[in-house]
Amino acid sequence: MASTQEKATHCCIPKTNDDIKNNNKAPPPPPPPSSTKVLQNWSVALVSGSNPSEDTISKRASMATLIRPVEPISDPPATNTTTSKGISIMPRAQTSHPLDPLSAAEISVAVATVRAAGKTPEVRDSMRFIEVALVEPEKHVVALADAYFFPPFQPSLLPRTKGGPVIPSKLPPRQARLVVYNKRSNETSIWIVELSEVHAATRGGHHRGKVISSKVVPDVQPPMDAMEYAECEAVVKDFPPFREAMKKRGIEDMDLVMVDPWCVGYHSDADAPTRRLAKPLIFCRTESDCPIENGYARPVEGIHVLVDMQNMVVIEFEDRKLVPLPPADPLRNYTAGETRGGVDRSDVKPLQIIQPEGPSFRVSGNFVEWQKWNFRIGFTPREGLVIYSVAYVDGSRGRRPIAHRLSFVEMVVPYGDPNEPHYRKNAFDAGEDGLGKNAHSLKKGCDCLGYIKYFDAHFTNFTGGVETIENCVCLHEEDHGVLWKHQDWRTGLAEVRRSRRLTVSFICTVANYEYGFFWHFYQDGKIEAEVKLTGILSLGALQPGETRKYGTTIAPGLYAPVHQHFFVARMDMAVDCKPGEAFNQVVEVNLKVEEPGKNNVHNNAFYAEEELLKSELQAMRDCDPLSARHWIVRNTRNVNRTGQLTGFKLVPGSNCLPLAGSEAKFLRRATFLKHNLWVTPYSREEMHPGGEFPNQNPRVGEGLATWVKQNRSLEEADIVLWYVFGVTHVPRLEDWPVMPVERIGFMLMRLMFLLAQLIWSSRTLTLQQSLSKTG
């Protein structure tokens, strides 16, 4: 993800010269001290010593402002230089924060290092690069970087020690983790590469990475890649029996045919990961002058295809049943202004979002400050957007940590039709495809409005090249209606404050569906996570006069199967905890009705009852709207002004559980869907709730459901919340003719999910004081 260039643009607003001038101008950073000009390529770190004088303390304070990342110009001396006053000169400046996503140069170095480590030319040539991602350092390294190496410097993050902290002269080298698929041997391996001298590659030198470790992971298949999908489509369309089958359906132009390779999942031993397999779904466009022709409106039923993705050959083919293609519908397309039997809306006047003085947020690299919030933005090929080091600046109490890491780590889409091919539709869109790798550029169109800061994202492609998604992440402010209002009926005077929120988002496309992922930060101390579902339904074709109970007929010969969408948010919490502290616990709160009796003579009494979730097995919990169930992550050491333990509460929105029998095949890989909430103590290796490689995975209960069997204590721990939330989609008949494409997507139904409102329970400012900042 690019962090060296500020990209701020207005979207969908007529640009004046002043607009263009303001768009390209980032919020001005504070001017550096003049003494930094003398240091040029050097940075300064403090070393603890004897009791300092006031003059020494003053000098150290000024030196702390000089610890800043600078770009190395040439290789400095190999050893440190220490002055007589105990000031150590860093031999190599830090140019990337430990949590910054890998740069394009770092990815290139990592790939080149691994490829060079191949034992033979055949091995090197057969390497395919599924994923290259940052190895996130231990939390104490992040704390050290934030305390002394990167502004805004926060020494309070480190524990106090006698004589002051001992500060190393440099941070540990950054590392990359590579998932590599060997196309010749059908093996998957994981490599760790140290990126200690990436700058050599940027100057045209050879790669200078170092292989730290490598291992082959047996019996797995890594995620599919876009290059494989394109190659699979070409192979199927060139297969003579397939062309003949399409000719029976009246299609001879293969350019109209769409082949969407879907992972086979795991339904029997035939799907074992000894082979890399795909079972494509087939669709067909109509001849049209529409720029974006909706081929998903014409599914091809009755054709069975199995593709060996390792060797790119069709290994099974059968034309099982001739089902006519659904007739062309003039309302099927969705490009604005095209003649297709419908009429675009013309009664909506322009709506402009402008911020003539620029935004209220400040961005330095990937570090964001807004109102009292600050955090870092990250991005991975699998999860997409990651939010790091979330904290709230709370008056005299200073910077208060809330979460170390927030992200969406998996999503599963099971379909409820038992017929072929729909029963095989149970996609793991993160683990089988990658949400980040399927993200797209937001620079065209109006995905965000107002004054926008964009971030780029860098990935490796299948052959090891580096690809960049420009404007992949959008950061902007939004008006959010009324935050607070009160009118005094005696005087008729009213006070009102409008709500503003800071939104960080990205959008990805996985085949027919679009998913928008949003993190909203509010002025009243809330964090809201939201997923928007849109795009196009995955449809099926029907015989004339046929109907199915497992879906809705939405047009002649066309039906939409019932299905569900599940998302898993992983929240590595740190409520009022510095790095290294494990002082959190989780409490479940249920509202209960008081039993009739002397304490409830009017039968109106109810109360909140708390229960401490002491262990992992006890913390496997489900939502219960009848008891207004919610959960609080509390700090066990800190109290608020009323003497209560501080905490944040997780407030569920609408939710569901899988509508499937206990022996459903997809639940072998997605056991984590059986509960809405899981809680574990932090473990660096526990990142993927269905295991790292869910593709064709035959193992029962791998991942989260296996980890919690340890039944580790949660009474005082470094807490990780896993919140599973979803929606059951029963398509409606009226979805089809309402609007082009959006009518059958989730946008029409306004399906947005409130994942969590994390509400600070120890706010020291009064509501009026807090809101007065927003007037």
Q: 419: which DSSP letter?
A: S
- Looking up tokens 């060797």, which residue turns up? 311
Question: Do the Cβ atoms of 456 and 468 come closer than 8 Å?
Answer: yes
Kind and range of the H or E element at 510?
strand 494-510
**Residue type at 324 in one-letter notation:** P
3-state secondary structure of 750: coil
Kind and range of the H or E element at 291?
none
Q: Is 225 a catalytic residue?
A: no
3-state secondary structure of 58: helix
Phi, psi of 651 (to 5 degrees): -105, 110
Task: Considering the candidates 388, 513, 559, 723, report the single residue annotated as catalytic.
Answer: 513
Instruction: Pull the structure tokens for residue 67.
Output: 């610890």
Question: Do the Cβ atoms of 191 and 114 come closer than 8 Å?
Answer: yes
Diameter of the chain measured on Cα atoms: 92
CA-based nearest residue to 74, from 91, 51, 57: 91
Sheet holding 281-284, edge to edge: 257-260, 281-284, 299-300
**Residue type at 668 in one-letter notation:** R
Angular region, 443: left φ>0, alpha ψ -120 to 50, beta rest: alpha
Task: Considering the candidates 225, 394, 429, 456, report the single residue annotated as catalytic.
Answer: 429
Radius of gyration of the chain (CA): 28
CA-based nearest residue to 530, from 758, 752, 727, 759: 752
DSSP per residue over 194-237, as a string?
Answer: E-TTTHHHHTT-----EEEEEEEETT--PPP-HHHHHHHHHHHH
Q: Is 429 a catalytic residue?
A: yes
Question: Do the Cβ atoms of 503 and 752 come closer than 8 Å?
Answer: no
C-alpha 595/C-alpha 371 separation (Å) is 46
C-alpha 235/C-alpha 223 separation (Å) is 19
Kind and range of the H or E element at 515?
strand 513-522
Peptide bond into 152 cis (omega under 30): yes
Question: Do the Cβ atoms of 696 and 677 come closer than 8 Å?
Answer: no
C-alpha 664/C-alpha 415 separation (Å) is 11
207-228: b (≥16 Cβ within 10 Å) or e = bbbeeeeeeeeeebbbbbbeeb
CA-based nearest residue to 408, from 760, 753, 31: 753
C-alpha 107/C-alpha 174 separation (Å) is 12
Question: Do the Cβ atoms of 454 and 9 come closer than 8 Å?
Answer: yes
Q: 615: which DSSP letter?
A: B
3-state secondary structure of 606: strand
Instruction: Pull the structure tokens for residue 279.
Output: 């079972």
Question: Do the Cβ atoms of 602 and 768 come closer than 8 Å?
Answer: no
C-alpha 760/C-alpha 771 separation (Å) is 15
Angular region, 389: left φ>0, alpha ψ -120 to 50, beta rest: left
Which residues does the annotation mark as catalytic?
429, 513
